[in-house]
Chains A and B, each alone.
Chain A
Amino acid sequence: MAASAMVGASGFGNWARLAAQQALTQDQLLEFDTFGNVSLIHITDIHAQLKPIYFREPEINLGVGEARGRVPHVTGADFRKLYGIDDGSPTAYALTYDDFSSLAKGYGRVGGLDRVSTVVNAIRADRPDALLLDGGDTWHGSYTCYQTEGQDMVNVMNGLKPDAMTFHWEFTLGTDRVTEMVENLPFAALGQNIFDAEWDEPSELFKPYKMFERGGAKIAVIGQAFPYMPIANPRWMFPEFSFGIRDENMQLMVNEARAEGADCVVVLSHNGFDVDHKMATRVTGIDVILSGHTHDALPEPVVVGNTIIIASGSNGKFVSRVDLDVRDGKMMGYKHKLIPIFSDVITPDPAMTQLIDDQRAPYKAELEEVIGQTDSLLYRRGNFNGTWDDLICDALISEREADIAMSPGVRWGPSILPGQDITREDIWNVTSMTYGKAYRTEMTGEFIHVILEDVGDNLFNPDPYYQQGGDMVRIGGLGYRIDITKPQGERISDLTLLKTGEAIDPAKTYVVAGWASVNEGTEGPQIWDVVESHIRKQGTVTVTPNTSVKVVGA
């Protein structure tokens, strides 16, 4: 099948025009001329956000190598120009970062799984046998998720009735808990790259793929879990499992599914966008990659050869609908729409609202307690420091009496608008994890440099197969210069201790506080307690713009 023979359409242009009229309705958001014979519904990287939130998309999202300047590495005005989005429109608010605080006040919160349920139900009304596919990072990222070890998310997601799921942060619940949950899932738990670590053979708990009969066609859904789980997250929590990209095995699974009669092959992926893009050039026979992990939201599919890649954002902010025309063992065409979940526009599904509130009820008082206020927009997403991380680093330096603070370059965590209260739930939304202890240690200047180079290569290695999909480690108390075009060992320079303005001495020892260590036995208070204590002392927090990272080669 030649790509040019494929009929492709995206509902995006229509949506943008409607959005510009400033009179968004649920019908407009859901409007879709049902196409072909198969529908896929994709949601990914929910990070346990049951309720509507604010989520600011990145300002800085740099691509290197072949990905330089290519979507999703386009932001702000360039992104709006690329897709013909009007400044100040709901679309601009949903997909770009500029003017976020004022647009957020106008257009309101996004997400909420009760709103997602309304969208899913509407698509199922059009196409009763639509496949709902969850790309993972579902059982992680909130107060209630931590307290219930993911049970709140399982209960609510079961209410949405997904058909299959793949995984990443779920494994940080530990092998025993993940095994217990997966064994009881009423849908398929998939991952062709989840292996038994001891025998280096496919895991028996996770099937590589599942065949679905939909619209008179056989649809194979192959799972691809996050490849670098034991590297990016603590290996000691799930030592029984091994991952990796495993292109060769993916090709074998595609071939096996085709031999079993699959008319269409869908990969439900947690690779991250650039890894998926490369995989589409190396593995043949994949029709659709539903891409997760890097939290990108793209209003149109990216076409690579005969494969389309769909990126559906994060935190419950978007749902993608992909209709396919599958005939005679081929995907003949597709139609796609990235549906933004404007929580004030989409009516919540009352049964789901009740189910969500039931999960939260035992913790209501703790969740809602106001810890402080903010004068500044608090956000995380972006390759370098976000204001949430600056606040967390300030808390670490102040509460742990450190020279330098390090905060992990994760991509999850909703935003808080200027003037908003900061509740305990808000703090947990940006810190919750099963290895959140805030360590305090000494590091030499040389070792700090090594860490920055190592993490920098995980983000800016020109070959996406050597990237891990996180952002740069966030640093407090330290300035540096990074040239993203250089190889590992040459990117980072001009390390400066901000409190004295002096250059970092490679031989000297500095007190460093941080959190989310992947090492077993890390000691210290939980990061959310450190941040809560700091915010309480501040009352109202103000985060000044961070200009201590100089980026070169962007």
Chain B
Amino acid sequence: MEFSRRETLAMGLGAAVMTVLPFRVSAAADDKIAEFTGGADMADGGITLTAPEIAENGNTVPIEVSAPGATAIMILATGNPTPGVATFNFGPLAASQAASTRIRLAGTQDVVAIAKMADGSFAKASSTVKVTIGGCGG
């Protein structure tokens, strides 16, 4: 479907977001996780992922991760064509094992953060971020 610039601007309820269904976890995301963890189990606690429930702007979504005692934290946008977002590594002198960044989301999907702990164990947190056309509120 093609929109001229003029028509796109005149569009009623928002930008030309053309997807209906939430994006599924791509195989590439599973591959990334396997590569990072070597297939090890991931605990549910020990890592905090803070993300908005609904993105104000899918092109720049602020997120924060924190995992005390982690040596590395990997962030994935599991529904993006290229799911890898960032991996933060923390040296022994790091004051805290936390990071914040902004990510681009192609559509509604789960954002996943996985921490590698100093003892070699892994912890995972996940948050669904909705990307919507918007309008009609209130």
Contact = CB atoms under 8 A, between A and B. Distances in A.
B135 A517 contact: yes
Contact of B137 (A242, A469, A520, A524): A469
A446 B1 contact: yes
Given A230-B57, A231-B132, A441-B12, A488 B7 contact: no
Interface string B98-138: 00100000001000000000000000000010101111111
Contact of A489 (B20, B130, B133, B138): B20
B13 interface: yes
A442 interface: yes
B27 interface: no
Interface stretch (A342-350, A356-364, A407-415): A407-415
A454 interface: yes
Nearest to A509: B1
Interface residues of A, number: 63
Contact of B132 (A200, A443, A457): A457
Contact of B133 (A137, A169, A454, A466): A454
B13 A473 contact: yes
A473 B21 CA distance: 19
Contacts of A197: 56
Interface stretch (B30-38, B47-55, B69-77, B80-88): B47-55
Contacts of A520: 9
B17 A454 contact: yes
A519 B15 CA distance: 7
B10 interface: yes
Nearest to A442: B7
Given A441-B7, A442-B7, A228 B54 contact: yes
Contacts, number: 149
A523 B10 contact: yes
A137 B1 CA distance: 38
A439 interface: yes
A400 to B, nearest CB: 12
B47 to A, nearest CB: 14
A168 interface: yes
A466 B136 contact: no
Contacts of A488: 20-22, 108
- Give the one of A242, A243, A468 with max B CB within 10 A: A468
Nearest to B13: A451
Contacts of B50: 248
B138 A232 contact: yes
Contact of A242 (B16, B54, B56, B128): B56
A18 interface: no
B11 A473 contact: no
A233 B138 contact: yes
Interface of A: 137, 168-169, 197, 200, 226, 228-233, 235, 242-245, 248, 293, 406, 408-412, 439-444, 446-447, 449-451, 453-455, 457-458, 461, 463, 465-466, 468-471, 473, 488-489, 512, 514, 516-524
